[in-house]
Amino acid sequence: MPLLNTAIEPLRFREALGHYASGITVITSHIDGEQIGFTCQSFHSVSMSPPLVSFSVMSGSASYPRIRQAGRFAVNILSDEQVEISQQFARRGTDKWHGIEWQESPLGNPIIVGSLHWLDCEIYAEHAAGDHLIVIGEVKALDLQEAAATQPLLYFKGQYRNMRHA
Ligand SMILES: Cc1cc2nc3c(=O)[nH]c(=O)nc-3n(C[C@H](O)[C@H](O)[C@H](O)COP(=O)(O)O)c2cc1C
């Protein structure tokens, strides 16, 4: 039955949104010799000219104030072999970079080795939206290498999936 109610119950809201399948990214940055990163599903393309992308981050994020300070971030689009990396970067208060192999991007952001693709961005704008911030980045560099054998990590109805066994 359709739910038409002014009070949208959080669990039902989350469940409804779970029907929108997406990829998974880790947003990374680097400041004062420290690597920063968090798992992020809410990545979207925004504009072609200028080339803009966005992500939404919860207001209580420990990572985002540091990313804002750095003024730049990389979007690491995860492959289906990186489920553990997605889980690791979603655990706050832990050493998220333990055992992670990374390389520096042209803008100086850490790129997680084995990612399907990456985009290097400067922060372009930030908008408050409820309990999240919408962060818009201008893309300054991207990965031009096509890793033909690699498939994306997918997320649907609260579970990791891959294109082989969707
Ligand atoms: C699959 C998945 C998707 C997520 N997507 C987002 C997101 O879009 N925005 C967000 O703020 N947090 C998202 N999170 C939660 C953060 O990764 C998690 O809260 C992280 O520990 C925040 O770290 P921080 O406090 O260091 O910023 C997601 C977590 C998972 C597992």
- What are the extents of the domains in the chain? 24-146
Query: Which atom of ligand 1 is closest in space to residue 93's alpha carbon?
Result: 26
Please give the pLDDT value at position 144.
Answer: 82
Ligand 1, CB within 6 Å, residue ranges: 24, 38-42, 56-58, 61-64, 86, 90-92, 155
CA–centroid distance, 57 to ligand 1, in Å, is 7
pLDDT digits (tens, 9 = 90+) for 83-141: 999 999 999 989 999 999 999 999 999 999 999 999 999 999 999 999 999 999 999 99
More confident: 40 or 146: 40
Which pLDDT does position 73 carry in this prediction? Answer: 98
pLDDT of residue 147 exceeding 70, the answer is no
Centroid of ligand 1 to alpha carbon of 10 (angstroms): 17
Please report the atom of ligand 1 found closest to the CA of residue 55.
8
pLDDT of residue 164: 79
> Per-residue pLDDT for 165 more than 70?
no
Region 151-158 average pLDDT: 96
Sheet holding 25-31, edge to edge: 34-40, 25-31, 72-77, 117-129, 132-142, 52-58, 43-47
Domain over 24-146 is classified CATH 3.40.50.2000: no
CA distance linking residue 59 with residue 133, whole number of Å? 6
CA–CA gap between residue 52 and residue 47 (Å, rounded) = 5
Average pLDDT score over residue span 5-28: 93
* CA 40 to centroid of ligand 1, rounded, Å: 5
Q: Which atom of ligand 1 is nearest to the CA of 63?
A: 27
Question: CB count, 10 Å around CB of 85?
Answer: 24
